[in-house]
Amino acid sequence: MSTRRSVEQMMAAIEREKKINLQRNLSCSTVEVYLPKFYFWAALVCSSVNLSVGILGLFLTRDVMGYIAAGYFGLWALVCGFLLWVSKVWNIVVCRDKGYFYYTTVFNKVYKCNFNECEVLCNTKNRIVLKAKNKKFYIDPHSINIEVLMFNLNKSI
């Protein structure tokens, strides 16, 4: 029951952040869509814990299984470090008055796409998939200011 409550509190915090940023950006001509701050902090805590356990495992063990466990926790620390990178690099800059947006991938590659060239392939609870020419864009539906992008895409159709 407590896990469900904490997940509900996390989602409520993300929704509050989305609402505050949406109200602030309604009059702006350029709006940035980005991942919630909670993703960054959760990945930071996860990578710190895994790295700490991995390092402690290296110093406190004397057998092979301890080294394997330390390697396992070190690998998870790398995965969480990649999630840290993703939460800071991935974004979409929506230029509402010019009719296009810039999509920055997790590997820092930037794509420019016009609203009228783009169509929504999938809009579910877990992901939004946009298709433009020969490229598919995958977007987290919990992203901050995603409503601005979806409004401009629907307006251009």
> Tokens 């690099």 sit at which residue?
89
Q: What is the pLDDT of residue 50?
A: 93
Task: Please state the domain extents for the chain.
Answer: 44-86, 98-157
Q: What is the pLDDT of residue 21?
A: 62
Please report the sign of the dihedral spanned by the C-alpha atoms of residue 144, residue 148, residue 150, residue 153. Answer: negative
Q: What is the mean pLDDT of each run of 10 residues along the chain (157 residues)?
A: 66 69 64 89 93 88 85 93 93 89 92 88 87 89 87 77
Query: What secondary structure does DSSP assign to 44-86, as a single string?
Result: HHHHHHHHHHHHHHHHH--SHHHHHHHHHHHHHHHHHHHHHHH
pTM, whole model, 2 decimals?
0.78
Q: What is the pLDDT of residue 19?
A: 66
> Tokens 């987290």 sit at which residue?
140
Q: Cα 5 from chain centroid? A: 22
Q: What is the pLDDT of residue 67?
A: 86
DSSP H or E run through 29: none
Q: What is the pLDDT of residue 2?
A: 64
Q: What is the pLDDT of residue 52?
A: 92
| Contact between residue 19 and residue 84 where contact means Cβ atoms under 8 Å apart | no
